[in-house]
């Protein structure tokens, strides 16, 4: 039996529609337009693509988008001054600083300078602590998008065995917290995990967030399990031929070997078109949520964890 393919692109479109509805209501009933500020330091081409796509979708759902592009040599003091200005700007309800930052900038210091109420990435230590203690917080977009898809597939996740591969602060750890919040039995695996194949074979839910192309083969997957592939890896695709400059063409693959996993899994997210589009949709959702909270209005239902 081939797996059900979880269409993250279509799911993200329904999330954006809900967001657009809330934005329209905020405008009509309260005269408020939610605003998202995205800060990009440096010229990393992949980051530029994401930031452009975020800005475009922000405008499409009716929100204001403020893009701040700083050059790679920007000082920490200048970046902190910009964040301060965004923190106090009443038109800005969400602030995202694109990661990774250039080496000379302290990421923890910069992230923790963001007003936690505007921290739509959910990376501020205050939001991390709130999530870890089950209190209302801003929830990181990628894990939130994964949770929404898992709830859509399964309804209740209660009692399911979940394995998260990867323990980063931006994906693995918050993903594990959310699964725990939905009463899964959660295992977090990482580069020092012994017998990773056997750990993964126990899982009803596998979330792969490693950054290694096609690392998880189908024979690690329990038949019928749900596989969520967070990985975004660009690999050479000589079968597609060459670019005009003679360089080899590339394609995106996830952290799971899609073809073999799809033979065994019950449901699986593709790359592209799975977790990635949901991440951006959840960023827009978090911005509306932040805007409602900032104005003492009831927050949108179905867009938070």
Ligand X SMILES: Nc1nc(=O)c2c([nH]1)NC[C@@H]1CN(c3ccc(C(=O)N[C@@H](CCC(=O)O)C(=O)O)cc3)C=[N+]21
Q: Which two tokens stand for residue 69?
A: 């592009």
Which run of H or of E encompasses 241?
none
Binder of ligand NDP out of 196, 252, 294, 297 (CB under 6 A):
196
286 binds, among ligand X, ligand NDP, none (CB under 5 to 8 A by kind): none
Query: Catalytic one among 121, 182, 204, 257?
Result: 121
| Residues between 210 and 269 that touch ligand X (CB under 6 A) | 232, 252
Under the binding rule (CB under 6 A), the answer on residue 11 touching ligand X is no
Q: In whole angstroms, how far apart are CA 119 and each of 4, 36, 116, 293?
A: 34, 10, 5, 12
- Per CB under 6 A, 174 contacts ligand X: no
The tokens of 282 are what?
């959840």
Residue 199 is a binding residue for ligand NDP (CB under 6 A) = no
Query: Distance (Å, rounded) from C-alpha 305 to C-alpha 303?
Result: 7
CB 220 within 8 A of CB 256: no
Residues 260-299 that bind ligand NDP (CB under 6 A): 275-276, 279
Q: What x/- string results for residues 56 through 95 when contact with ligand X is judged by CB under 6 A?
A: ----------------------------------------
Whole-angstrom distance, CA of residue 195 vs CA of residue 107: 33
CA 237, CA 240: separation in Å to the nearest integer?
6
Residue 54 falls in the annotated catalytic set:
yes
**Residues with catalytic function:** 54, 98, 121
Residues that bind ligand NDP (CB under 6 A): 142, 165-168, 170-172, 189-193, 196, 209-212, 230-233, 275-276, 279
């Amino acid at each position: 039996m081939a797996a059900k393919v979880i269409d993250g692109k279509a799911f993200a479109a329904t999330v954006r529609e809900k967001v657009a509805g809330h934005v329209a209501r905020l405008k009509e009933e309260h005269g408020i337009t939610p605003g998202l500020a995205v800060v990009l330091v440096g010229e990393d081409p992949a980051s530029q693509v994401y930031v452009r796509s975020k800005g475009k979708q922000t405008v499409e759902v009716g929100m204001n988008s403020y893009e701040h592009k700083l050059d790679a040599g920007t000082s920490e003091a200048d970046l902190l001054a910009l964040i301060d200005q965004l923190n106090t700007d009443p038109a800005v309800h969400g602030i995202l600083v694109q990661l990774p930052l250039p080496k000379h900038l302290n990421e923890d210091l910069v992230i923790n300078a963001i007003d936690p109420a505007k921290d739509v990435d959910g990376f501020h230590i205050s939001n991390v602590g709130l999530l870890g203690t089950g209190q209302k917080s801003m929830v990181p977009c990628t894990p939130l998008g994964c949770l929404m898809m898992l709830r859509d597939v399964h309804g209740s996740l209660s009692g399911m065995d979940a394995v998260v591969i990867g323990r980063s602060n931006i994906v693995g750890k918050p993903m594990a917290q959310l699964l725990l919040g939905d009463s899964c039995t959660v295992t977090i695996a990482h580069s020092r995990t012994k017998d990773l194949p056997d750990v993964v074979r126990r899982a009803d839910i596998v979330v792969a967030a490693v950054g290694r192309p096609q690392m998880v083969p189908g024979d690690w997957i329990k038949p019928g399990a749900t596989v969520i592939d967070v990985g975004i890896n660009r690999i050479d695709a000589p079968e597609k031929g060459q670019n005009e400059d003679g360089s080899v063409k590339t394609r995106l693959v996830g952290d799971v070997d899609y073809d073999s996993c799809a033979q065994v899994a019950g449901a699986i997210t593709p790359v592209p078109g799975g977790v990635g589009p949901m991440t951006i949709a959840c960023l827009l959702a978090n911005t509306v949520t932040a805007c409602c909270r900032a104005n003492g209005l009831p927050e949108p239902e179905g867009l938070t964890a």
